[in-house]
Chains A and B, each alone.
Chain A
């Protein structure tokens, strides 16, 4: 069955870095775009970043542009979100989700991984 499993979350000090991973299985990974979406405690959903099926195109929300880098390794069915210069406002559960094409509905989501930025 389709699975997206996030990992790499944890507690990190402001200004430090963290790398999240999202491992996929149960579907043809290299035919789907992948997104990161986050949810701060008690808040709604915020789209963070998108990577195309082949990794050639990446888009970021203004709130993370220049600090976060999205990459994928289709040989490992895994995407990565490198998060640098973390701020308290980056504290959230981070979900990965897939879509057909760049701009399609997010038809399957992972369970999420919690990132806490605190001194």
Chain B
């Protein structure tokens, strides 16, 4: 099983600031099969990034993903009020696993 470790656990930022979230895999994620999801209380999780760097349908371009192998990053260039949420990385190249999540909270 591929274990995903996300850091930091919590990111305290102000609207307009840049957010950088990290996801590290215990072994190489094949073909960049890495996704990022946004989760808010009482709502369905939403796909943000797939294939490590492709934005899902309807996702604004302030969200970007990068990385390969075992190290991946989600960047939110300028935080909007609706971006404060928990973000999970997921590898889907083998039996799917999720990271523990990074909470982006308002400072």
Taking Cβ atoms with an 8 Å cutoff, the residues of A that contact B are 35, 37, 44-47, 50, 59, 61, 95, 97, 99, 103-112
Chain B interface, DSSP helix/strand/loop, else mixed: loop
Please give 14 more A-B residue pairs, beta carbons under 8 A apart, in addition to A46-B98, A109-B44: A44-B101, A45-B88, A45-B90, A45-B101, A47-B95, A47-B97, A97-B45, A103-B92, A104-B50, A104-B92, A105-B56, A111-B43, A111-B44, A112-B44
In the complex, the answer to whether A109 meets B93 with C-beta atoms within 8 Å is no
- Does B96 lie at the interface of the complex (its beta carbon under 8 Å from any beta carbon of A)? yes
Q: Using CB atoms, name the residue of chain B closest to A99.
A: B92
Assembled-state Cα–Cα distance A104/B10 (Å): 28
* Total count of chain B residues near the partner, CB < 8 A: 25
Q: Which residues of chain B are near A112, meaning CB under 8 Å? A: 44
Q: Using CB atoms, name the residue of chain A closest to B46.
A: A109
Assembled-state Cα–Cα distance A59/B94 (Å): 11
Assembled-state Cα–Cα distance A61/B94 (Å): 12
